[in-house]
Structure formats: C-alpha cells, structure tokens
Amino acid sequence: MAELATANLLNEALGNMILIKLKGGRELRGKLRSFDQHLNIVLDEAEEVRHDGEVKKLGLVLIRGDNVVLVSPAPK
C-alpha cells in the first residue's frame, strides 16, 4: 500500500523540480522525468547542491533507487 502512495505522489511530481538526498550526504535537484518500482529516478536539468551552497550542473542523470534516502519538492 505504501508503494502505491509513493507512486501516486511521484506521478504528480512528473515534470516538476524535486530534491533528492542520497546516501553519503549528496543532494541533487532537477526535473523528474521518470521513475520505476525500485525508485530508480531519471532527472533532467539536474544539479548537485553542495553543502557550501555551490551548485554543479549535471544535465540528464539516472539515480539508482537503493541510493535514495529522501525525495521532496525542490525549494524555490
């Protein structure tokens, strides 16, 4: 049941900016293009947000689901 709720929330976020926190403390933000049942995520216009506030542009990225700790709407 929780998987269905997660899928519904991510479906609503398709095409919108999201923030993803990964194991190891890295944070990425970008437009959610797709995802699957394993929480593998494709982000377009992705950027790495570093702890010092610096932003590194990455472009199109695939994030393996077992590295994802948190997914949230991106702050503006």
What whole-number percentage of the chain has pLDDT above 70? 95
Nearest to 7 by CA among 29, 30, 46, 40: 40
Q: Output the pLDDT for position 76.
A: 62
How confident is the model over 5-38, as pLDDT tens digits?
Answer: 778 889 999 999 999 999 999 999 999 999 999 9
Question: In this structure, are residues 73 and 13 in contact, taking their beta carbons and an 8 Å threshold?
Answer: yes
**Cβ neighbours, 10 Å, residue 34:** 12
pTM here? 0.88
| Distance (Å, whole) CA 56 – CA 20 | 15
Domain span at residue 48?
2-73
CATH for 62: 2.30.30.100
Q: How many domains, the chain? A: 1
Nearest to 75 by CA among 4, 12, 17, 10: 17
